Chains A and B, each alone.
Chain A
Amino acid sequence: MRRIWRGSATAALALLAAVPFGTSAGDSQRGKQLYESRCIACHSIDENRVGPAHKGVFGRRAGQAEGYDYSPAVKASRLVWNQKNLNRWLANPGKVIPGTKMGYSVSEAKDRADLIEYLKTESRG
């Protein structure tokens, strides 16, 4: 009994340790891999697909990818894609801009941080 409890407590601690808190910088390499498995169905960096192209998105106002047909909600939004807003967006797009047609969310904070780091890198280019 006791040993089982200790085991699961250790596992829980290990889990916690794997998820950095706060604004610790993400890992852009890992972010790229995540992007290529999770976002690639709808997005690419330089082409509009089902979702808008992401080149230059970091630091830009929402709804500005040229030639992409945004939802009225995103088009009208005055939000700027900084670290904080992207993090909230990826956790729950519909909560940040109600009425958006992006229904995809990323539940792990570490994954979001890495994805944002990758978008930042790509936005510089």
Chain B
Amino acid sequence: MSILIPNSLARRSFLSKSGLILSGTGVALLSGHDALAKSKSDSANDVDILNVALGLEHEGINAYTLGAKSGLLQKPVLDIAVRFQTDHKEHRDALAATIRKLGGKPVEEKSLAEYAKALKADTLKSQADVLELAVRLELGATNAYLGVIPSLKDVQLAKVAARLAADETLHWTILNNALGKPLPAGGMPFGA
């Protein structure tokens, strides 16, 4: 697991080419959920919102790949990045499985080059730069997951979004600390 990142590109493209990736590996976050009991348009819109979330996870995974590939991360930060990337892969698989379970089609990952451009990876010059990017994305993801909760029609899905938000908050806290930044000033700093 700890040598995952340097090899992840080759490995991932092998896996996706051979069609193995995601094929039944994800555990749907909704056990026993009966999509048919929902009105079709409600669950269709929930699926769209989950797909946006899945897009965030794809981007997060690729951001960590870019960070690791940059050669700027040293141990133990590199290990933390690998661990967080693994969490995001779990989120990805779980979201994709949930989307399928609700009858939707999970959005595909884009190329690493596209993520590099969108995230301006060429501006990363130090470990701190990489951490700053990661901390920004994790904060954004925390707020995004909290912010979509009121739009989800299914309360079980709302719980899923809350669980994912909690994971992102955990990541944010560690990264923020690694950068030597203080805790937020007051209570309830997220999701306003």
CB contact under 8 A between A42 and B140, given known A104-B148, A108-B192, A111-B192: yes
Contacts of A103 in B (CB 8 A): 45, 48-49, 52, 147-148, 151-152
- Interface range on chain A: under 10, 10 to 19, 20 to 34, or 35 or more? 20 to 34
Within A66-125, the residues touching B (CB, 8 Å) are 71, 93-94, 99-108, 111
For residue A64, CB closer than 8 A to chain B, the reply is: no
- The CA-CA distance from A104 to B136 in the complex, in Å, is 18
* Main DSSP-derived SS at the B contact region: helix
Contacts of B136 in A (CB 8 A): 36, 40
Interface string of B117-142 (1 = CB under 8 A from A): 11110000000000000001101110
- The CA-CA distance from A111 to B119 in the complex, in Å, is 25
- Whether the Cβ atoms of A37 and B140 lie closer than 8 Å is yes
Name the residue of chain B whose CB is nearest to the CB of A53. Answer: B118
- Whether the Cβ atoms of A40 and B140 lie closer than 8 Å is yes
- The CA-CA distance from A37 to B176 in the complex, in Å, is 14
In angstroms, how far is the closest chain B Cβ from the Cβ of A87? 17
For residue A9, CB closer than 8 A to chain B, the reply is: no
Total residue contacts A-B, CB cutoff 8 A: 70
For residue B70, CB closer than 8 A to chain A, the reply is: no
In angstroms, how far is the closest chain B Cβ from the Cβ of A54? 13
In angstroms, how far is the closest chain A Cβ from the Cβ of B181? 14
For residue B144, CB closer than 8 A to chain A, the reply is: yes
Contacts of A25 in B (CB 8 A): none
- Interface range on chain B: under 10, 10 to 19, 20 to 34, or 35 or more? 20 to 34
CB contact under 8 A between A94 and B141, given known A104-B151, A108-B192: no
- Whether the Cβ atoms of B48 and A50 lie closer than 8 Å is no
- The CA-CA distance from A71 to B117 in the complex, in Å, is 23
Among A50, A105, A106, contact of B59 (Cβ-Cβ < 8 Å): A50
For residue B32, CB closer than 8 A to chain A, the reply is: no
- Whether the Cβ atoms of A41 and B144 lie closer than 8 Å is yes
Name the residue of chain A whose CB is nearest to the CB of B49. Answer: A103
Between A and B, 24 residue pairs with Cβ closer than 8 Å are A37-B139, A38-B143, A38-B144, A40-B140, A41-B56, A47-B118, A47-B120, A49-B59, A49-B118, A50-B52, A50-B56, A94-B151, A99-B45, A99-B48, A101-B48, A101-B49, A103-B49, A103-B52, A103-B147, A103-B151, A104-B144, A104-B148, A104-B151, A108-B192
Which residue numbers of A lie inside 8 Å of B, CB to CB? 36-42, 44, 47-51, 71, 93-94, 99-108, 111
The 3 closest A-B pairs by CB, nearest first: A41-B140, A103-B151, A103-B49
